Amino acid sequence: MERKLLLTECPDATGLIAKITNVCFNQQLNIISNREFVDHSSGRFYMRTELEGVFNDAQLLAALDTVLPKASCRELVGSRRKKMVVLVTKEAHCLGDLLMKTYDGSLDIEIAAVIGNYPDLAPLTEKFAVPFHWVSHEGMSREAHEALILAQAAVYQPNYLVLAKFMRILTPAFIQTYPHRIINIHHSFLPAFIGANPYRQAFERGVKIIGATAHFVTDNLDEGPIIKQQVIPVDHNFTAADMAKAGRDVEKLVLSKALGLVAEDRIFVSGNRTVIL
């Protein structure tokens, strides 16, 4: 017996849940869990169905095609771990948290490799027997540096790239190589305080909460579809340095939770929004 996920996105129509589940029944598959959502603003239907049984993938998908509306997307996903390459600069807290959580099994992903534009985090990475590659950006154009990163990442054929405090702006050409498959942790509660030095911006505005945002990367800086956000309270006693220190704890928590959602195939991208089931 296997377990697989059926992910369905299509124009909304009457009776979709019954039609999809009836196809699964006819394939003698047991439904372990099922969640669905209709986005009335776009008229799109989303459904995540966990199935158990003996699968004939081609037969199941062909049967679904006979009952789903035109312009439908359906995917059958196996239980294989998502493979990720993590990009870093010098800050260790997010990378360290991901390495520890994958080591103890609380985050079910595979960190295939870490690529850094500085060598600082190599010793940390190597403690967990994960390959580290130093790809320096010094003395070369952004495009040339990105080409080297992409070539190194391609060796591992990752499902996703993770920017764990990788403090460089990516070009549109780089982003298009992994559409909706690059995940960034931003040290702010977006859309407030985009760009650099958000804790200094927050301090100067006298904010009462600070937070972090994990999102997919698009061509628009820090404006991609949001996966996960969280905030913590602060007050006038906090300096900008205090806010940054507290924010690091939020950043690593938000990033690991976002990757957990990705690992479980719970995220549908709808325009510049996400639907999480």
The residues assigned a catalytic role are: 222
Rounded to 10 deg, the angle between the 198-205 and 240-263 helix axes is 120
Q: CB within 8 A of 75, min separation 6: which ones? A: 6, 7
* Backbone torsions φ then ψ of 53, nearest 5 degrees: 155, -160
Secondary structure element (H or E) that encloses residue 260, with its range = helix 240-263
DSSP-assigned beta bridge partners for residue 36: 47
Q: Which of 6, 79, 13 is nearest to 47 (CA)?
A: 6
Q: What is the rounded CA–CA span in Å between residue 188 and residue 204?
A: 14
Q: Which of 60, 86, 54 is nearest to 75 (CA)?
A: 60
